[in-house]
Structure 1
Amino acid sequence: MTHRSSSWRKLGCLAFAALLAACSSTQTTSTSGAPAATAVQTSPAPDPNGISMAHEADINKLISQMTLEEKVNMLHASSSFTSGGVPRLGIPELTTSDGPHGVRPEHGRDWSLDNAGNDSSTYLPTGIALAATWNPELGYAFGEVLGQEAKARGKDVILGPGVNIMRTPLNGRNFEYLSEDPYLTSRMAVGYIKGVQDQGIAACVKHYAANNQEIKRAKVDVHMSERALREIYLPAFKAAITEGGALTIMGAYNKFRGQYCTHNQYLINDILKGEWGFKGLVMSDWGAVLNTMEALHNGTDLEMGTDLLQMPNINYHKFYLGDTVVALVRSGKVPEALIDDKVRRILRVMYHTNMIGGQRTPGALSTKAHQQTAQKVAEEALVLLKNEGNLLPLSKDKVKTIAVIGANATRKQAMGGGSSQVRPPYEVTPLQGIQQLVGTGVKVTYAPGFEVTRAEKANPKLIAEAVQAAKNADRVVYVGGWTHGYTDNWDGGAFDAEGADKPSLTMPFAQNHLLTAILQANPNTVVVLIGGGPVDMTPWINQTKAVVQAWYPGMEGGTALAKVLFGEINPSGKLPVSFPKRLQDSPAHALGQYPGDKDTIRLEYREDIFVGYRYFDTYKVAPLFSFGHGLSYTSFGYSNLDVRQDGDAVQVRLQVQNTGRLAGAEVVQVYVNDEQASVKRPEKELKGFQKVFLRPNESKTVTLTLPKDAFQFYDEAKRQWVLEPGKFQILVGSSSRDIREQAEVTL
């Protein structure tokens, strides 16, 4: 059987799962009052499964005119980012592009970069930052930017969003993903997908499924209970398909229950194409196909990949779904109808995105409006974790000197992280943002304090300079945390990057030593953390008054950060993932298995459904900062909770009031607790939320409807979702650990 060289190396995580646009062209108004992006072009009306079936007769006619070789040519890559077309029948190549938070700067057919003058695109905040907004309308605006810019660069599929659950805080790719919670992930992903696909571009939901670590990702064999699969790891993929209308989906590298995910009978044929009725395209991650017969029979429609050691002389016809398939059909070992089904799915995507039989409206690349969307997402994503003594916001009138300390204050992050790297026309760093906001009225000094190097050693000279700068300033803004690696370009660095997990939660480059010294020199220090997830803060958290989680905030991140620090923007971000005190407090490390058994590479998800806050709250383990946590410069009161049944659903209504002196936004979170069940259920589970923008003293009525499935669990014996009659607690609060109101309902 023909296959690619075993020396194949994946340079970028190119995900080619495209999601379907299921909504019509409408203008969305954000809850802040500002209009989100307006859809320019809509796709054909979808069937109940999301994908338009209006062109089936045309598709069947095209297939009848193809030779077997032409059909097979469409089932595999024709270059690094394209799959084969049939020029004589007017069928173009399908062109894909990363990434999940900005259109990559690669040339259309290979890994080389176009020149910076004509390919610069908008660098949006990363996925975890988008989820921290808890604002699905921003998810739509985010996706719309990606769709418009992909179209402007001649792409057909944008490889995103990534919806894998954050099982361990060490996962090097958490910065691309959305949350530890399947409900929050689903809601943000659906908005994103519709935003992309309303522009006539296919979105790609990835990586299906259970791809929850980068270390050994192509070797581990993931085993979990059916209940964990259904309740935790599949809901976001299902929502992407059945609600978002995803056009394509990308298979993961890892095995699931003994079979590779990209050609997994249970995941793809039984669940995705069977239970969910998916009519679109299943694409492999780059190099994830490893068996021709399994790929043919277990649902893989398109094999993507690149053998970098053979470039530029790659014979794409020698892929697993290449010439071997022609021989198998000719010999009668594989029915041609199986090939036709795969081609049909590819053509559906092409018709749906107007690649065939239609005309696309023009796209737009890195416009002012797109940059404003990037800034808006960053503003709502920043999470105020701690603010003792109201150290924040800083005052331009009262503060005369500010020392900005930390190498991340000047480090640009856009070209890091692996396949999701983006090259924007500019990137506002934290130092630049602060300098631009305060102008000449406040003296701003800068000291790096640490170096981003492989050695990760403390530099006594840099520390001494930083301490002196701290002593000489009224206030200190320390900008540290994670980086994407050791260089601006991805090199497999050990932090927030594809292909590697973090070695620990300890901040790299000896930052704990540096930060402790700075806090001793000046207790009025604001700690700003860059990165795709938590760090171990125990060495210094009790000594600092204010902490801001900034994630990777995109090209306008420095602008947004400065506005939050100085109170021009009231922070409203909430954590989409629990921050543990210590790594060993995380459920995958406390109860489960990571990174996998050394001998068999078998990986047991022994923590089962108790992922993230489900574990912390149920097992009474105190996190450092809880899921859903995020402070504001104002305060909010909850009152008049009213819960009542409405048919099969439960309606939750309450009043929320801004009880402070500043305008702000609160995320009202609704959790459900099952008082008594035949199986062990989490202490609480997120089942609804709404972001509410309020002026001082303003009140609003928040109404949320919890459908029947908000109260169900997956019964493994019956192999179905079950609602057991009984009493349920409805818990409403500002985080999973800050419950303000509760009521009981009997179902």
Structure 2
Amino acid sequence: MADNRIHMENKQLEYHDLIEKMTLEEKTSLLSGQNFWNTKPVIRLGIPSIMLTDGPHGLRKQGGKADHLGLNKSIPATCFPTASALANSWDAELLEYIGTCLGEEAAAEGINVLLGPALNIKRNPLCGRNFEYFSEDPFLSGKLAAAMIRGIQSQGVSACPKHFAVNSQEIRRMVIDEVADERALREIYLEGFRYAVLEGKPMTLMSSYNRVNGVYANENEHLLQDILYGEWKFDGVVVTDWGGENDRVSGLAAGNQLEMPFSGGETDREVLEAVRAGKLSEVLLDERIDSLLRLIFQTKRESQVLKPELKQKHHEAAREAARRSAVLVKNEKGLLPLAAHTRVAVIGDFAKIPRFQGAGSSLIVPTQLDSALYALMQTELNIVGYESGFRRRGGKSTAKQHRAVALAARADVALVFIGLDEGSEAEGIDRTHLRLPENQIELLNALRPACGKIVAIFSGGAPVEPHWAADVDAALLGYLGGQAGGGAIADLVCGKAAPSGKLAETYPNAYADVPSARDYPGKELTAEHRESIFVGYRYYDTAQESVAWPFGFGLTYTTFAYEDIAFEDGEVQVTIRNTGTRAGEEIAQLYISK
């Protein structure tokens, strides 16, 4: 006898009449993909196939051979800054606009579901996929994700926040058991999703590969039934991560409606047999089908051509987003912005060949790509030359270093582009340490005697240990700025715009200071979250542990004064006054604790 929980008792099915016409075989066919990106149609009843595709900061629609790690080519699309960069803007309006741009491109390509945003918590800076995630803070993550969801869905495309839940690492992600206490679950790992669901109202949501407290996320009744459907009243479709189904009948009963990609009909037959054997309620099955039909018909669309003017508009939006997401963390004696005609040596491979995104399922083929070197050459700076300075993928090169030092000796300022290479941050792997590559540190040390002023521009999706910053006069964290990030860096260096980003994560002095360092990535198949709620700044503040650059930190080219601070009836009022000589923007932050 079936004893399956239904997440909304006595629910009136929106597509009751259509469901009554379906055979049991037709119902079960809707529960898994037809191929890598599409669901199955029911042609007899006019139920179309829909298409799902990545990703969180750009469209990855594959026209040919499909894969889930970005190994095969996809159509060109605007590559916006990654979530780790966008979060530094702290700007929900900006995120909603970027979401609208993503929705426009998805709609033009006939996409029904865009797989993003990703908003897992940055428990540990070594997680290889942190570039896809917003923050160590669930409130900031959730607010920004909700804004992006609203933007995407304004174009009739479903957003799909992911990965629900506690997807804290890439190593052993398919089987790892993330063990966390209920308070940590509620306050840290689920809170961002709660904001995303309640304020963004996504039509779909993706479950994660991992287990949570012993049960796979895609069949975890506590996560899906008790919290997502029960407390948050989510009425959309839960889809597995690609290949993330385990026990299909248990997953469906828990509330995971759609298995992706295709299963060759195997899991459809499992569901069919479970219903016929009375192990799965057909009433529950109809409810799951009703949610799927709502998604299918609400996002039904035809492909069209994206207007050329929109492509340029989106590129400009990507540049603005990159400008607002960069964070200035050091600026001795107001070195930046550089004055016109300053003699500048541009050094570092990342200046010429941008590191603008991470690797994996979010990998975008950009519509165009701006290098910082080219953008700087269009300014009034006197660019005296360029040298790569180091091998991008590591290893010593004395010749490259010597040429860079010789070039720097001819300049007033050396702009040195440092960072992490493409193999350092990727889906499916975690970093093994928090250090900047040794050859880049050696280059900075060698440049100091040759050039009086050094500005470092960092490209990467997550923190590195900050010891290198002691050898530079100014440091700008560009993160992974998308296809227009090079132009944005030039704008900031020259003062066309002022940095306004604030860090959405903490930069520790050393990896040993990270609260989860001893327990990451876990032993064998278990990752214990012994730090509980003390993730990121919650730990550093409580433990009074010094850090390099704290959460919420960021400099600009002017100064601000906070005046007339008042608290009344649960509201805080403050007057913020620009006390400097340049225009700038300030992000006001309020922290409350017991």
TM-score, length-scaled by structure 1: 0.75
Quote the residue 2:387 is aligned against: 447
- Matched position secondary structure for 1:665: coil
Is 1:386 matched up with 2:330? Answer: yes
What CA distance in whole angstroms lies between the structure 2 residues aligned with 1:624 and 1:415? 24
Higher helix share: 2
8 Å contact kept, 1:254–1:260? yes
Shift, 1:192, TM fit:
0.4
8 Å contact kept, 1:132–1:576? yes
The structure 1 residue matched to 2:286, chosen from 320, 330, 340, is 340
One-letter amino acid of the counterpart of residue 653, structure 1: Q
Quote the residue 2:463 is aligned against: 534
8 Å contact kept, 2:52–2:115? yes
What CA distance in whole angstroms lies between the structure 2 residues aligned with 1:130 and 1:595? 26
For residues 543-582 of structure 1, what are the structure 2 equivalents within 5 Å?
543-582=471-510
Number of equivalent positions: 583
Are residues 633 and 180 of structure 1, via their aligned partners in 2, closer, same or farther at CA, if it must alter by over 3 Å? same
One-letter amino acid of the counterpart of residue 316, structure 1: G
Quote the residue 1:462 is aligned against: 400
Quote the residue 1:673 is aligned against: 593
Quote the residue 1:76 is aligned against: 32
Quote the residue 2:230 is aligned against: 274
Quote the residue 1:721 is aligned against: none
For residues 62-461 of structure 1, what are the structure 2 equivalents within 5 Å?
62-107=18-63, 110-111=66-67, 119-305=75-261, 316-318=264-266, 321-354=267-300, 364=307, 367-397=311-341, 399=342, 401-413=343-355, 416-438=358-380, 442-453=382-393, 456-461=394-399
Quote the residue 2:541 is aligned against: 617
8 Å contact kept, 1:634–1:659? yes
8 Å contact kept, 1:435–1:444? no
- Matched position secondary structure for 2:444: helix
Shift, 1:85, TM fit:
1.7
Quote the residue 1:19 is aligned against: none
- Matched position secondary structure for 2:26: helix
Q: Cα RMSD over matched residues?
A: 2.1
One-letter amino acid of the counterpart of residue 294, structure 1: S
One-letter amino acid of the counterpart of residue 242, structure 2: W
What CA distance in whole angstroms lies between the structure 2 residues aligned with 1:442 and 1:376? 24
Is 1:501 matched up with 2:430? Answer: yes
Shift, 1:162, TM fit:
0.5
Quote the residue 1:704 is aligned against: none
Are residues 111 and 608 of structure 1, via their aligned partners in 2, closer, same or farther at CA, if it must alter by over 3 Å? closer
What CA distance in whole angstroms lies between the structure 2 residues aligned with 1:269 and 1:349? 20
Shift, 1:463, TM fit:
1.2
Shift, 1:152, TM fit:
0.8
Shift, 1:425, TM fit:
2.0
One-letter amino acid of the counterpart of residue 480, structure 2: Y
- Matched position secondary structure for 2:385: strand
Gaps in structure 2 of 5+ consecutive residues: 1-7
- Matched position secondary structure for 2:469: coil
Quote the residue 1:654 is aligned against: 574
- Matched position secondary structure for 1:479: strand
Higher strand share: 1
- Matched position secondary structure for 1:443: strand
What CA distance in whole angstroms lies between the structure 2 residues aligned with 1:452 and 1:379? 24
Shift, 1:147, TM fit:
0.3
8 Å contact kept, 1:79–1:109? no
8 Å contact kept, 2:81–2:357? no
515-524 or 63-72, which deviates more: 515-524
Is 1:594 matched up with 2:594? Answer: no
Per-residue Cα deviation, 1:440-490 (whole angstroms, up to 9, x for no partner): x6134111112233xx211111111111111222111111111222xxxxx
For residues 45-64 of structure 1, what are the structure 2 equivalents within 5 Å?
59-64=15-20
TM-score, length-scaled by structure 2: 0.94
Identical aligned residues as a percent: 38
Does 1 or 2 have the higher relative contact order (CA < 8 Å, sep 6+)?
2
8 Å contact kept, 2:82–2:357? no
8 Å contact kept, 1:164–1:212? yes
What CA distance in whole angstroms lies between the structure 2 residues aligned with 1:509 and 1:426? 31
Gaps in structure 1 of 5+ consecutive residues: 1-48, 307-314, 486-494, 675-747
What CA distance in whole angstroms lies between the structure 2 residues aligned with 1:651 and 1:415? 39
Per-residue Cα deviation, 1:191-229 (whole angstroms, up to 9, x for no partner): 100000011000000000000111111121111111111
